[in-house]
Chains A and B, each alone.
Chain A
Amino acid sequence: MGPLVVNEIISPDTNLFLAFLIGIGFGFVLESSGFSSSRKLAGMFYGYDTTVLKVFFTAAITALLGMLFFSLFGWVDLSLIYINPTFLHSAIVGGVIMGAGFIMGGFCPGTAFCAISIGKLDALAFIGGLFLGIVAFTEGYPLFEELYKAEFMGTPTINEFLGLSRGLFSFGLIAAAFGMFWVGDWAEKKFPREEY
């Protein structure tokens, strides 16, 4: 049955329309969870607000388990789902640069779009920065191409890489997330802040 577009149950144009609806859900949930506030997002890195950690890992687990159940029920063919390829070097270097951008800018691209939609002008500056950064990459591409394409590993999943079954790894991830939620609650008590 699923994914619907790959199995031609819906047309490519319907897919684009549904992308818009999915985006509405995405934006609505982000805003309602407080991701339109850079001070709330940055709170995770100082312990005073660990909402990001809780929302992010709960979402990852929910989607992960949903996929696992859908495939068990035969509702979705996991082999047709896009798995992000792994280019080891660019995944690490890109992630480090993004982390630096996160602590300086207080947003990531998705949350910046969410924040600008309710009028946060710091998000507008961040999006201006995103344009500059992306243009720097596209214009300077020949300089970065080697790093960009280095250490291509295909599309391995982390459980294959560790030699675990999908279910066992998922179980471990859930246990780890519960541990992090507990640490998050502890940090919020230890580093409390008044309103922000």
Chain B
Amino acid sequence: MNEVKKTKYWNPYIGGVMLGLVLLSANFISGRGLGASGALKSVIVSTVNTVAPDHAENAAFYKNYNETHENPMKSWLVFQVFGVLVGGFLSGTFAKRLKFKVEHSPKISSKRRLVFALIGGAFFGFGSQLGRGCTSGSALSGMAVLSLGGFITMACIFGTAFGLAYFFRKNWI
């Protein structure tokens, strides 16, 4: 039974090579790496532009962004993230993993899991803006082009998560 469970996913080294080839093709075709958080920023700027145009003209961040970008939604990352949703769905369909559920350790409730997911997301979202990209855009893609900042951000993300793991162990083990 355990063996069956273990073999449902790809071998991690095969997965890693495949992910590396996807990243390589992004660099070869578009001259840039992968990402995720930037697409959410585009959605937010676009929403603010539509819902509160006065605010978008006055607040520093949106003003700078709109001066340097034509249309926030017509961005490489927005299209790429739509692709991620489709690709993940296809893989989940083939592997029969499509299911609505809240995944959590049996020791904690679904509610606790959702609350921590929300808080964790807020931290990650804020950090990704300050750090100019998340695990994909800054750490992984940065490392592939040997960016010093990419290595620093990668070390800080994983180092902090390791350092704090003890305090949040009840959520996971």
Residues of A bordering B, CB below 8 Å: 2-6, 10, 15-34, 36-40, 42-43, 45-46, 48, 51, 54-64, 66-67, 70, 75-76, 80-88, 90-123, 125-139, 141-142, 144-145, 147-148, 153, 155-161, 166, 169-170, 193-196
Q: Is the CB of A23 within 8 A of B41?
A: no
Nearest A residue (CB) for B86: A24
Q: Are A59 and B23 in contact (CB under 8 A)?
A: yes
Query: Which of B42-66 touch A at CB < 8 Å?
Result: 44-45, 48, 59-62
CB within 8 A of A45: which of B114, B153, B162? B162
Bound together, the chains give a CA A81 to CA B172 distance in angstroms of: 39
| Number of B positions contacting A (CB below 8 A) | 124
Cα A87 to Cα B105 with chains together (Å): 38
Q: Is the CB of B124 within 8 A of A101?
A: yes
User: Known contacts being A118-B97, A169-B146, is A54 close to B12, with CB within 8 Å?
Assistant: yes
Q: Give B28's nearest chain A residue, CB to CB.
A: A2
Which residue from chain A places its CB closest to the CB of B2 in the assembled complex?
Answer: A195
Q: Which of A54, A129, A153 has the most CB of B within 10 A?
A: A129
Return the contact of A94 from the options B119, B120, B131 (Cβ within 8 A): B131
Beta-carbon contact of A84 and B147 below 8 Å: yes
Question: Measured between alpha carbons, how far is A66 from B87 in the docked complex, in Å?
Answer: 23
B15 touches A18 (CB 8 A): no
Contact between B97 and A15, CB atoms less than 8 A apart: no
In the complex, what's the smallest C-beta–C-beta distance from B29 to chain A, in angstroms?
5
Smallest distance from the beta carbon of A17 to chain B beta carbons, Å?
A: 7
Please indicate the chain A residues that have their CB under 8 angstroms from the CB of B145 in the complex: 67, 81-84, 157
Is there an interface contact between B27 and A100, defined as CB atoms closer than 8 Å?
A: no
Complex CA distance for A101 and B35, rounded to whole angstroms: 17
* Contact between chains at A20 and B98 (CB < 8 Å): no
How far is A101 from B31 in the complex, measured between Cα atoms in Å? 29
Ordered by A's residue number, 22 sampled pairs between the chains whose C-beta atoms are within 8 Å are: A3-B28, A22-B34, A22-B83, A23-B81, A23-B82, A27-B89, A33-B12, A36-B97, A62-B21, A86-B149, A97-B124, A97-B131, A98-B124, A99-B157, A101-B127, A102-B161, A114-B88, A128-B118, A130-B40, A134-B41, A139-B59, A157-B146
